[in-house]
Each structure stands twice: as C-alpha cells, then as structure tokens.
Structure 1
Amino acid sequence: MMPFNVIQDGDGLPRIILSEPTGSTAEVLLNGGQVVSWKNEKRQEMLFMSTKAASKQPRVLRGGILICFPQFSNYGTLDQPGFARNRLWSLDSSPSPLPSVNNQSTVDLILKSTEEDLKTWPHRFELRLRISLSAGKLTMIPRVRNIDNKAFSFSLALCNYLSVSDISEVRVEGLETLDYFDNLSQRERYTEQADAITFDGEIDRIYLTTPTKIAIIDHEKKRTYVLRKEGMPDAVVWNPWDKKAKAIPDLGDEDYKTMLCVNSAAIETGIVLKPFEEWKGRQELTTVSSSYCSGQLDPRKVLGLA
C-alpha cells in the first residue's frame, strides 16, 4: 500500500493527497470525509466542484464525493442529508479487517458517534471509510458498525458529483426498465421507459434495485464513467437544471451544465444492524475512452455484458 501525504489547506485544515505512479491524484478532506478532487494521469479533473463552493468553515463543499449518513436527503427523521458530512473525521489507525492493497494509494478514515449526535440520532456507531486510488480507478469502501446494545437501521449514499462537458450531451445506461421514485412528483413510483437516460430538464430520481454497473457516457469528451457498486442497491440521478440552480446559494447559475450526480445508495430499504454487527459497501469509479458506432457507445461492452 502506497503512503499518502497530508498538507494544510488555505484554512489551515488537513488535506490528504493520494497519488499513484501513472500520475493520477485524489484529494480528501477530514472535514466530512469528502473527496474534493480526482484527476487522471493527464491531470484532467473527473469530479465537479461548484464555482460558488463555500470557503468558510465549517463548510460542506458543493461537489466532489460526499457521504450521506445515517440518512439520505429527507428520507428519515433528521435534517437532510444526515450529519456525517458535517463532522470532522479522523485517520483510522486500525482499519481491520480490511487487508492492505498493493499498488494503491489508500487512506482510512473513521467517524465515531458523539454525545451531540446521540441527541438527534440515539444510536452508537463507528463509520469507517477507505478511499483508494489506482490507475484509472477511485475506490471507496464505507463500513458501519453498531456498537450499541440495541439494533438500528440507517440509509447511506455516496454522492458523486461528476464533471461532464455538457449535460445535454450525456447519457446514462444501465437503469433502463427499472422502477424509480420521482422526487419531482411527490415520490411517485414510475418505471423507466427510455433506452437510456438523457437530459433536457431537471431530474431527481431514486432508481431501485439497480445493477452493479452503470455507465455515464460523455459524448463530447469521448469519456465514459463506469460506476460499480456493491451493498448499495439504489442509484440517485440528479441535475437541478437552470431554475433550481439559480435557487441554490452555493451553486453557480451555469454550473448545472457541467455536472451530473449519479449516486450509490441504500435508501428504499433501510440497512438493519444488530448489536456489534457491521455492514460494508463498495463503490468503484473508473473512466474509459468511449468508442463510437453511429455516435453511440456500445453499452454492452462498457457494462461487461458482451
């Protein structure tokens, strides 16, 4: 396992730098356990960050990859979307039982429940997060352990703000024929009818019982993100479009054009942990060059079906 570097950012807070031999890098904040940058070997940024990202502390930056726990959005009793992204995490010195991985730059973080947390969510937990960088791949492994003497349930999401060239030129494949909750229609349940999801207006959907692989194809950049996930059966697709973007204080008016959120999530059915049980999820983000046939990528090859 390759070491990571810790630097102080402009606010004097620690920022973790992961790097690997081909030249790709990732940056992680202990504030929120948030990934704020992932650059490929050509130094191209893969993650979106708002042009109005707040710079004052405490802050949650609009962009990168956020972890939402113990609930997502307002699907629960807490202020949306949970408190994990507002807490200061620590380096995890004993991330067992996860093994070391060769040829990866890895950092292990941990968040433990505090007395303040127990006032709003009365369950004692340990939330661990491993973030690993290798050539062309960013892997995140969240783990939740119940250290209480009673069972509890939770939901969780890894919110991936992906950088795209032009949202109107992007398509998402792998979610066709699936049921989804439409948050723009009072969470009505629908079935996806399109061959692929394309974008010409605001979208806010939770797709249910999704496959382990989803492809996000950026035609203009000839780049495809492949999202592979385990333990998180749902997927959230979100773009605010123009009117909603103008109403979000920490999002630039035109930012919606260059971002798309496709999130790994466990929302519809809460994850139940008995005392001292542990849950583990996994997300891998990779990028591949898109090859074209009649202007479209063959989704079967990207999704590993061919």
Structure 2
Amino acid sequence: MAIDPCTSQTLTAPDGAELTVCTHGGHVTGWTPAGGRPRLWLSPTAECGPGLAIRGGVPVIFPQFAGRGPLPKHGLARNRAWTQVEAGPGVWSARLVDDEETRKVWPHAFELELTARAQGQTLDLELTARNPSDETWSFTAALHSYFTVGDPAAVITGLGGRVAADSTGGPEFVLGEPGGAIEALTTRDVAIEGAGDPVALEDPQLGRLVVTANGFPDRVVWNPGAGHGLGDVPDGAERGWVCIEPAVLQPVELTPGSDWTGSMRLDAGGHSADS
C-alpha cells in the first residue's frame, strides 16, 4: 500500500523515545527523548506537497546549500517525495533516487538515503549520498535542524571565538568570545567552517542538547528574527526555535561508484557522540 508522502508516522522505541517522520523530503519532523519533551520545532503552518519544503524538523539539504550555486535554494531533496525503506520501533529510513524531474534541476544520477534512530535520550541521523553513474559530480549538504527553544535566555556553546561568515555578505568576523556562549535567539544567519567539535544548546527550560556530527565539518546557525516575512512561520514563532545545522559547505567530489556518509547525533542527556 502506497504511503501518502505528507502523512506523518510516529515510531515509538521500546523505551518510549518517539520519532515522527514523513517521506516528503525524507523528513524527520519530530523527536521526543524517552521521558522528555519534544526537542525539534515544527511550524504549526508548515506546508507539504510537491515543490514545497516542510518548515521545521530536520530538512535534508542536497546537492546545494542555500544559494551557493546555480540550483534552487537548498537543492532538490527537501521538496519532493522519497521512498520509505524501513519503519520500526524508533527506527526509520527513506531513499531518494534521481528521475526525469530531478535531472531537469540537476543532470546527474544519484542515490540518497537517510536513516534515523531514536533511543533513550539520543537521536541518530545518517545521510548517505551515492554516485551510481559513470561521471564524477560534486555536492554540498546539510541537516537543517530546527531546535525548540523554551526559554529566551537559551544560549549556544561550542562556537564562541570561531571565525564566521554572514550569509548576507561582508567580511568575516569572530563569533562571540573564545570559549563563551552566544545567545540562541539573536537574529543571525552565519556559517562557521571547520567547526567540527560538539555544540550545545543550553536551555534553562528544556535542558542541555548536544549536537555532534561526523562527515559534516561545518556549522550554520540561523534565526530570522522579527519581521522575517516567512509565510510559514507565524509572527512571533521565531522566538521558539533556532537552527544549528551540521553542514559540508565546500564541495565534496564523488567519483563513479563511490559514496559519502555524514551523521549527526542529538543527545538530550548532554553527552557528545564520542564521550
């Protein structure tokens, strides 16, 4: 039986951790740690359907990050239907393969697969890109994670003192003080390259959430601020979330028959993936 790409599924792990997904965009739209509170933000006015991107959760960005290239913003993976591969207690995977429509946007053969696993206090996501063709191509990618913010005093640690670049242009600058925290809800859209260490969202209401990634060497932090003009974000709702995105912002080259994998772990217990 075919699954409506915009129909959500909630997959509950034996320990009570919950994962909510839909095949449109290969999208994880919700995650609740065992015994905890939801940690991914999803817009109450999010749209879903062909050509539309779901606002919130963890959109998959591929093969182009933002407007850094000739393709539509954030590429072609987040706004079309994927095929479900597996769905079980707290576990889900989906796949996107090139077709006539994708080749109109990006003229390459590819395979993408996203696997998600919720267990205890953690959510693990793994994204694999494969090149099944006889030509080399390159890509950039990200897991565009929207995290719920419960307290306006929430801060982000792990990025203070890093060199950042604003997406609106201008010279590079140092983000905050070395070793210090930056406010989560400040209006910003910045890319920090070579920031592969764990980053934490410290929220007095929701607790600590640690973001660890492998294969994604860069981080992007975004909150659009008031007056954002986003039609699928109600006025004031931007105060309830911040994006902290593991990304690969410099093109990765895939030769024929090769693949690449990037992963992210979210830990509401406050531990990094290698601790």
Compute the TM-score of the two structures, normalised by the length of structure 2: 0.90
Aligned residue for 1:252?
234
Aligned residue for 1:148?
133
Give the drift of 1:57. Answer: 6.2
Moved over 6 A (4+): none
Letter in 1 for 2:96: L
Which deviates the most, 124-133 or 114-123?
114-123
DSSP 3-state at the match of 1:242: coil
Aligned residue for 1:20?
13
Give the drift of 1:111. Answer: 0.4
- CA gap of 1:243–1:75, structure 2 versus 1, over 3 A, is same
Give the drift of 1:45. Answer: 1.4
Give the drift of 1:187. Answer: 5.0
* Distance in structure 2 (CA, Å) of the matches to 1:216 and 1:32: 25
Give the drift of 1:188. Answer: 2.9
* Distance in structure 2 (CA, Å) of the matches to 1:126 and 1:200: 36
Contact 1:23–1:43, Cα closer than 8 Å, also in 2: no
Pick one of 107, 119, 126 that aligns with 1:122: 107
Contact 2:34–2:119, Cα closer than 8 Å, also in 1: no
Contact 1:208–1:235, Cα closer than 8 Å, also in 2: yes
Give the drift of 1:19. Answer: 1.3
Aligned residue for 1:62?
55
Letter in 2 for 1:121: W
Matched, 1:157 2:142: yes
Which of these two proteins has the greater Rg computed from alpha carbons? 1
- CA gap of 1:226–1:200, structure 2 versus 1, over 3 A, is closer
Give the drift of 1:147. Answer: 1.2
Contact 1:143–1:280, Cα closer than 8 Å, also in 2: yes
- CA gap of 1:64–1:7, structure 2 versus 1, over 3 A, is farther
Q: Deviations over 1:53-80 (max 9, x none)?
A: 2266664221111101101110111110
Aligned residue for 2:25?
32
Aligned residue for 2:255?
274
Contact 1:7–1:16, Cα closer than 8 Å, also in 2: no
Contact 1:226–1:286, Cα closer than 8 Å, also in 2: yes
Letter in 2 for 1:181: A
* Distance in structure 1 (CA, Å) of the matches to 2:274 and 2:261: 26
Aligned residue for 2:162?
178
Pick one of 236, 240, 244 that aligns with 2:220: 236
DSSP 3-state at the match of 2:232: coil
Give the drift of 1:108. Answer: 2.0
Give the drift of 1:200. Answer: 5.9
Aligned length: 272
Contact 2:196–2:214, Cα closer than 8 Å, also in 1: no
Contact 1:25–1:39, Cα closer than 8 Å, also in 2: yes
DSSP 3-state at the match of 1:217: strand
- CA gap of 1:53–1:277, structure 2 versus 1, over 3 A, is same
* Structure 2: runs of 5 or more not aligned: none
Compute the TM-score of the two structures, normalised by the length of structure 1: 0.82
Aligned residue for 2:190?
205
Aligned residue for 1:286?
267
* Distance in structure 2 (CA, Å) of the matches to 1:53 and 1:13: 11
- CA gap of 1:57–1:86, structure 2 versus 1, over 3 A, is closer
* Distance in structure 2 (CA, Å) of the matches to 1:258 and 1:78: 30
Give the drift of 1:191. Answer: 2.3
Contact 1:163–1:259, Cα closer than 8 Å, also in 2: yes
Contact 1:214–1:227, Cα closer than 8 Å, also in 2: yes
Which deviates the most, 117-126 or 25-34?
117-126
- CA gap of 1:142–1:35, structure 2 versus 1, over 3 A, is same
* Structure 1: runs of 5 or more not aligned: 1-5, 94-102, 290-301
Contact 1:131–1:141, Cα closer than 8 Å, also in 2: yes
Aligned residue for 2:174?
191
Q: Deviations over 1:242-265 (max 9, x none)?
A: 121xx1111011111110100110
Give the drift of 1:207. Answer: 0.8
Which deviates the most, 197-206 or 275-284?
197-206
Contact 1:51–1:255, Cα closer than 8 Å, also in 2: no
Q: Deviations over 1:64-109 (max 9, x none)?
A: 111011011101111101110111111237xxxxxxxxx9732221
